[in-house]
């Protein structure tokens, strides 16, 4: 079946950026002289930055506003997106191939827009995507299919001819439950979920050169 549209996650899928998120929540709280609860990293996996800020206020009693918490977290990582975070192997070549095949593409990410856009522009791949949708702007994390549904509406393609590319198990579970075709993209931070991801997805790839659509 000819592919008409593709919805790409950003971190861990197109960008090799997940290592910078590991321990970020704990480090932020420790800077505030607040002891993180065990399992915080696992809890944050399914959250957008806005949801994480809400969690820090509710669970840890931080007095800063959500906007202030967001700004402080983004300050810790913004330089990495602007100057350092690399593409996953084969990603640029694959995007070029899809463009040549007239496949419509967009980004659906839990990362804040200015971080995502700065990395996409620096890596010269922003031009492949008709839009960037963020969890904060649609007001739903990837435990909710809304961001994928909005992406599909934007692309205007049939569900059966659209593929979602994702690396994280919780996001893959959400997308597949909503009826999307999903290709799992390997990332070391989700290696422990490989078997469950393989069971849910129509293909599991270690590199974009492996995808056979």
Measured distance CA(32)–CA(79) in Å, rounded: 21
Q: How many CA atoms lie within 13 A of 135 on its CB side?
A: 22
Q: Look at strands 132-134 and 203-205 and give their pairing.
A: unpaired
| Widest distance between CA atoms in the chain | 55
- Rg (C-alpha) for the chain, rounded Å, is 17
Measured distance CA(78)–CA(58) in Å, rounded: 25
Cite the DSSP H helix spans in 61-165. Answer: 66-83, 91-100, 113-122, 135-138, 146-155
pLDDT at 11: 94
Using DSSP's 3-state secondary structure scheme, residue 144 falls into coil
Q: Structure tokens of 72?
A: 């402080």
Statement: the pTM of the whole predicted model exceeds 0.85 = no
Domains annotated for the chain, with CATH where assigned, are 5-17+87-210 (3.40.50.1000), 19-83 (1.10.150)
Tens place of pLDDT per residue across the chain (213 aa): 589 999 999 999 999 988 777 777 888 888 888 898 888 887 787 777 788 889 899 889 888 998 898 888 888 788 888 898 999 999 999 999 999 999 999 999 999 899 999 999 999 999 999 999 999 899 998 999 999 999 999 999 999 999 999 999 999 999 999 999 999 999 998 899 999 999 999 999 999 987 766
């Amino acid at each position: 079946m000819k592919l008409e549209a593709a919805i790409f996650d950003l971190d861990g899928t197109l960008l090799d950026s997940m290592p910078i998120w590991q321990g970020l929540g704990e480090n932020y709280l420790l800077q505030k002289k607040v002891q993180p609860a065990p399992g915080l990293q696992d809890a944050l996996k399914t959250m957008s930055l806005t949801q994480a800020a809400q969690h820090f206020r509710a669970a840890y009693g931080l007095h800063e506003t959500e906007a202030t918490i967001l700004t402080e977290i983004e300050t810790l990582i913004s330089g990495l997106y602007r100057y350092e975070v690399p593409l996953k192997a084969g990603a640029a070549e694959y995007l070029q191939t899809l463009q040549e095949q007239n496949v419509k593409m967009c980004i659906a990410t839990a990362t804040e827009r200015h971080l995502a856009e700065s990395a996409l522009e620096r890596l010269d791949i922003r031009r492949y995507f008709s839009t960037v949708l963020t969890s904060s702007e649609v007001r739903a994390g990837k435990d909710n299919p809304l961001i994928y549904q909005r992406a599909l509406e934007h692309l205007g393609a049939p569900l059966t001819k659209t593929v979602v590319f994702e690396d994280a198990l919780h996001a893959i579970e959400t997308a597949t439950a909503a009826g999307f075709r999903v290709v799992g993209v390997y990332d070391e931070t989700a290696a422990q979920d490989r078997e469950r991801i393989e069971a849910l997805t129509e293909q599991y790839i270690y590199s974009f050169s492996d995808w056979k659509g």
